[in-house]
Structure 1
């Protein structure tokens, strides 16, 4: 029997998930982020929610990469409501970044106060609908400030003013992987993009949480920026790839700290 050409990604995670990796820098759980027993494992009063949930677009590969359909990407899951459960453990007045959903879809379920739309300029044209003359070259990200549990915010929260960068524009230009480089995950986000978001809303040592982690680009960026990461991914193959990437990032972070 020959080995399969692609990873088997149809395994269902156990109730409560399974910790695949845990260090002082990062935790990666193979699990269902809709599972209350998984949600309870995220530390209380974490510092940033940064995630790219399925958009309900029914993504399918058209480039022969043999990616499996993404769990929950068929429109059957109320992702704002799911993320609302995760937002309940976010420290008040800290920040949220969610790809693909508008502020009015997220404000109530996530308990957000001020929101803003960020545009990720991918600097290259995507495929999109070839029957129209305009092709997609950007993706939207909603930024929000949590207003849940105001008694738990603390002075350091400063009602959303805690940032490592000065006020900046709402367009972020980072090259996306082109079709020939999309090998790990169909909607993989560039680490430099995630690093910009993380730098703008956290300081070193803060905990960054991604409940829809994919191959853990958010976690990799967090570790490289001196933050801590808590990542959950439903598909076992993607979670294992994420662990490999996190471990490589931790080695780099260790070398940086040693200098």
Structure 2
């Protein structure tokens, strides 16, 4: 079989062990890395304020539109909730990872499914109303215009979860349907989320200066929203081209945040 130069350019290059820092400031850390890597997880400051991520759903990205990039890990072979459980509490720790009683938002999953692997004392199912038809299978009769978001309150100790502790609401009690139009005609990433949606979640569950963590950063929208809301972010993305896109977008957000601070 003859291999062309284009074939070599299309090869997926895995990130190095422990990841590679592509961007680091007092507002943002962005790594090209594998979120399964315990050496990478160990680099996240303990006691961070929010875990907010959109992992591959394990169903494969399906679209009849040509030119859409593939999503690493979107083939159903990875138990993503167990992976994210390590980010919330590495090796089952009661002291490391996400701070106790802080929140998680996981796109694409039912809230009841996240309770055990992410040690949540209380969970709620949210709905993102996308306002536009999805970019999925264009041959289907019905088009999905919404996406579930699992919200949970992380409690590290089983006794706390069993006795119902960790039932506190988000900072601003709101309805469970969030209507934000998805990016239209955007080919940067198949699952890119609107910045105002992520800003709403971050504003509801953190205070200024908190660290927001996204192990499956995609195009970096979580980081953009965090920076613009006066929070800090720690982003990890497996695919190099998307990791570099994260850097570009977060750097633009940092410049805007600097301008807002200077006013």
TM-score normalised by L of structure 2: 0.87
Q: Deviations 1:97-150 (Å, cap 9, x if unpaired)? A: 000111222111110111001000001122545565432110000000000159
Supply the distance in 2 between the matched residues of 1:246 and 1:194 (Cα, whole angstroms). Answer: 14
Supply the distance in 1 between the matched residues of 2:175 and 2:68 (Cα, whole angstroms). Answer: 37
Supply the distance in 1 between the matched residues of 2:14 and 2:192 (Cα, whole angstroms). Answer: 21
Structure 1 residue matching 2:23: 3-state secondary structure: strand
Q: Deviations 1:155-189 (Å, cap 9, x if unpaired)? A: xxx9464744x2110000000122xx222111111
List alignment gaps of at least 5 residues for structure 1.
Answer: 151-157
- 4+ aligned runs moved over 3 Å, structure 1: 127-133, 158-164
The structure-2 alpha-carbon separation of the partners of 1:85 and 1:248, relative to structure 1 and needing over 3 Å to count, comes to same
Q: 1:106 aligns with which of 93, 105, 114?
A: 114
**Alignment check: 8 A CA contact 1:8 1:237 kept:** no
Structure 1 residue matching 2:77: 3-state secondary structure: coil
Supply the distance in 2 between the matched residues of 1:94 and 1:160 (Cα, whole angstroms). Answer: 11
Corresponding residue of 1:230: 234
Aligned length: 245
List alignment gaps of at least 5 residues for structure 2.
Answer: 90-96, 159-164
Indicate whether 1:174 and 2:176 are aligned: no
**Alignment check: 8 A CA contact 1:61 1:186 kept:** no
Corresponding residue of 1:154: none
Structure 2 residue matching 1:108: 3-state secondary structure: coil
**Alignment check: 8 A CA contact 1:29 1:233 kept:** yes
Indicate whether 1:251 and 2:255 are aligned: yes
Higher mean C-alpha deviation, range 135-144 or range 120-129: 120-129
Aligned-pair CA distance for 1:61: 4.3
Supply the distance in 2 between the matched residues of 1:97 and 1:126 (Cα, whole angstroms). Answer: 21
Supply the distance in 1 between the matched residues of 2:156 and 2:217 (Cα, whole angstroms). Answer: 23
Aligned-pair CA distance for 1:235: 0.2
Indicate whether 1:186 and 2:190 are aligned: yes
